[in-house]
Amino acid sequence: MNEPVPVVKNLEDLYPKDALESQRARFEHLKIRFSELYGRSPQFIARSPGRVNLIGEHIDYSLYEVLPMAIAADVLIAVSPVPRKNQEEVKVQVENLNPHKFKSGEFSVQKDGNVEIDASTLQWTNYFKAGFSGAVDLLRKQNSCFSSCGMQVLIDGTVPAGGGLSSSAAFVCASALATLRANGSDKVPKKELVELAIVSERSVGVNSGGMDQAASVFSVRGDAVSISFSPELYAEALPFPKTDPPITFMIAQSFIAADKHVAAPEQYNLRVVECTLAAEVLAAKLRLKLKTDSGPLGSSLRGFQNAYYESEKADQRSSAEEQIGVMLSLIDKLLDNSEGYTREEIASTLSMSVEALERRFMTKFPIRAERFHLGLRARHVFTEALRVQAFKQLLLNPPADADTVLLPRLGDILNESHTSSRDVYVHSCPEIDEMCEIAREAGSYGGRVTGAGWGGCSVHLVPKDRVEAIEAAWEEKYYRRREPDITKEKLAEAVVVSEPGHGSMIIDLS
Ligand code: NG1
Ligand code: MG
């Protein structure tokens, strides 16, 4: 778990056989463009993949376990370090293989490593800067005199942006890894990389949890990964049982852009605030003291569960599932589910002023909402945490009959998760709901919105022999209705059957 990010020379270690040829061509193209741009060859390539979350949606920032897997789509960053001469400031040049979509950028780095990030504007290079700064901070903690070298970088990303597959985390993780390696760290511990990428991404995006960065770094080819956050970050490969028919996931784009910089971030940050306030209100009502934890706002529903089970009120011996069951009965007793709470009501329960409440929970990302649905949001979190456990147990101890027992049960859990996302947490959208319906009618075992939602992607567990039928159903009933002239290429990108891919790596070109 805390082994270093692998350094490889051969692409065979990285991609499945059938993808090797096209990946080789892609790497060659990146190297050639690099030499054309900078007049020298790159020294290495840092790579980090996107992910699809199988189950455990919007519960990472409440510090409950999630089950994602890395996908084949990834971010490659070709790098040539530029040595620092004495005290001069150095430059970092950032170019993208697709310069029309991603305008190049250049920034200078002072000796103290300081880099300015203007998070109020939508610049893709901010994500590079975020990873860069996080890496420099880490190196300065290890050696207070450290100053970064300059860098020339060229980036190629294949994870669709705003599609719920976590292009941002792939980019931040790859940027941080590239910076660490450029500055001589050739053994980058995975856990350190993840922890710094989580904090870095919070400086440019939203108050996110840590699932995406952990999935991008820790994943192992062929397996899902179970990621827990309490008492501390921990990741473990979760192999899929070999079944007949084999477990197959389809990922489908809705082409509704869940743009992190317009409506979605406000919704996302509001959910983080609602969950944190649910924890605070529950604790206040039971006179429990919450410890500061790694939740984005310093406390979490999991922190509440821990505090409850450390108090005399609770039976310490209960299993994880029993404990969450108790949490559900507590919210029924203590939280109102109808209208939601006003700021005044919450502040009064927490014995603070509305100003103090806003200062503590709503300053970093301002929130406009008037009502806060603490009961509903907590209900989703606890039931989803239970669904993750049920899903994981089925993978670890699969019942014998895959076709008639295991796969339909897994599918049911995905469907229940979607219903909760749609009705209780309210982070799906009508288009994704429709895509889930269409897939089920065409024979999927079950499916759900994946990632932050409000657009983006859905994930479906399907019988292998239904893949084409489900694809055809989406094409006819969803994609062509929305966009009659949709191209073959766009359709091919819209739906993928992704094998679980490998996590972050360095490809050494020396
Ligand atoms: P997306 O928007 O799919 O990358 C976001 C968060 C995750 C998690 C999911 C919902 C970021 C970087 N990531 O993922 O941490 O909370 O939503 O489960 O914002
Ligand atoms: Mg993201």
The contacts found for 40-43 with CB under 8 angstroms, 24 or more apart, are 40/80, 40/152, 41/80, 41/509, 42/78, 42/79, 42/80, 42/154, 42/509, 43/79, 43/80, 43/81, 43/182, 43/509, 43/510
Q: Report the SS3 class of residue 160.
A: coil
3-state secondary structure of 367: coil
Read off the tokens for 418. 């979607």
Pocket around ligand 1 at a 6 A CB cut-off: 53, 57-58, 60-61, 164, 166, 168-169, 201, 205-206, 208-209, 211-212, 451-452
Q: Answer whether 66's CB lies under 8 Å from 55's CB.
A: yes
Which of ligand 1's atoms lies nearest the C-alpha of 169? 12
In total, the chain counts a number of residues equal to 510
User: What pLDDT band is residue 392 in, cutting at 50, 70 and 90?
Assistant: very high
Strand ranges of the sheet holding 495-497, from the earlier edge strand across to the other edge: 446-450, 457-462, 248-253, 495-497
Q: Which range, of 59-73, 101-115, 250-264, 437-451, averages the lowest pLDDT?
A: 250-264
Identity of the residue numbered 11: L
The pLDDT tens digits for 283-342 are 999 999 999 999 999 999 999 999 999 997 778 788 999 999 999 999 999 998 788 999
Ligand 2 centroid vs 85 CA: distance in angstroms?
36
Tell how far the Cα of 452 is from the centroid of ligand 1, in angstroms.
5
Write out the two tokens for 411.
Answer: 């599918």
Q: What is the mean pLDDT of residues 77-89?
A: 87
pLDDT at 2: 78
The percent of residues in the chain predicted with pLDDT above 70, rounded, is 98
Q: How sure is the predictor about 388, in pLDDT bands with cuts at 50, 70 and 90?
A: very high
Q: What are phi and psi of 90, to 5 degrees?
A: -115, 165
pLDDT at 376: 97
DSSP string, 409-433: HHHHHHHHHHHHHHHTS----HHHH
At residue 238, the pLDDT reads 97
Tokens of 23: 């990946």
* Token output for 367: 């929130």
Q: Is this complex scored with an ipTM above 0.90?
A: yes
CA–CA dist 303, 305 (Å, integer): 5
Ligand nearest 215 Cα, by number? 1
CA of 163 to the centre of ligand 2 (A): 8
Q: In DSSP terms, which residues pair with 159 in a beta bridge? A: none
Residue minimizing CA distance to atom 4 of ligand 1 = 166
Atom of ligand 1 nearest to the CA of 452: 17
Closest atom of ligand 1 to CA, residue 57:
18
Burial category of 222 from C-beta neighbours within 10 Å (exposed 0-12, middle 13-18, buried 19 and up): middle
Annotate 137-150 with three-state secondary structure: HHHHHHCCCCCCCE
Q: In what order do the strands lie in the sheet with 7-8?
A: 7-8, 505-508, 44-55, 67-82, 150-157, 90-96, 105-109
The best mutation among 65, 67, 166, 300 to test binding of ligand 1, ranked by most ligand atoms within 8 Å of the C-beta, falls on 166
Q: Are 264 and 454 spatial neighbours (Cβ–Cβ below 8 Å)?
A: yes
Q: What pLDDT is stored for residue 54 in this prediction?
A: 98
What whole-number percentage of the chain has pLDDT above 90?
78
Mean pLDDT of the chain: 93
By three-state DSSP, how is residue 498 classified? Answer: coil
pLDDT tier for residue 117 given thresholds of 50, 70 and 90:
confident
Query: Which of the ligands is closest to the CA of residue 207?
Result: 1
For the CA of 457, the nearest atom of ligand 1: 3
Least reliable range by pLDDT among 139-143, 393-397, 399-403, 455-459: 399-403
Average pLDDT over residues 484-498: 92
Question: Best mutation site among 51, 54, 57, 60 for ligand 1, i.e. most ligand atoms within 8 A of its Cβ?
Answer: 60
- Do strands 90-96 and 105-109 pair parallel, antiparallel, or not at all (unpaired)? antiparallel
* pLDDT one-digit tens code per residue, 224-265: 999 999 999 999 999 999 988 889 999 999 998 765 445 667
Hey, which residues are catalytic here?
212
Give residue 254 CA to ligand 2 midpoint distance, Å. Answer: 16
Q: In 375-500, where do the E strands start and end?
A: 446-450, 457-462, 495-497
* Residue at 211: amino acid letter: M
Q: What is the mean pLDDT of residues 128-140?
A: 94
How does residue 364 score in pLDDT terms, banded at 50, 70 and 90? confident
Nearest residue (by CA) to ligand 1, atom 13, is 208
Distance from Cα 390 to the centre of ligand 1, integer Å: 22
CA distance 202 to 296: 8
Residue type, 422: R
Residue among 54, 63, 407 at smallest CA distance from 225 = 54
> Cα Rg for the chain, rounded, in angstroms?
23
Distance between CA atoms of residues 459 and 482, nearest Å = 20
Q: Quick one: tokens of 401?
A: 């009959």
Q: Would you say the C-alpha torsion 9, 106, 257, 226 has a positive or negative sign?
A: positive
Report pTM. 0.94
Mutating to test ligand 1, I would choose from 225, 229, 268, 387 the residue with most ligand atoms within 8 A of its C-beta, which is 268
- Calpha distance 137→151 (Å, rounded): 16
CB 60 within 8 A of CB 211: yes
Nearest CA to ligand 1 atom 12: 208
Nearest ligand, measured from the Cα of 209? 1
The whole-angstrom separation of Cα 190 and Cα 218 is 7
Contact predicate 472/495, CB 8 Å: no
Cα diameter, the chain? 69
Structure confidence at residue 261 (pLDDT): 45
User: Could you give the CA distance from residue 48 to residue 506 in angstroms, rounded to a whole number?
Assistant: 9
Q: How close is the Cα of 276 to the center of ligand 2, in Å?
A: 20
**Confidence category of residue 403, pLDDT binned at 50, 70, 90:** confident
Range 190-218 average pLDDT:
92
Closest CA to 462 of 498, 430, 417, 432: 498
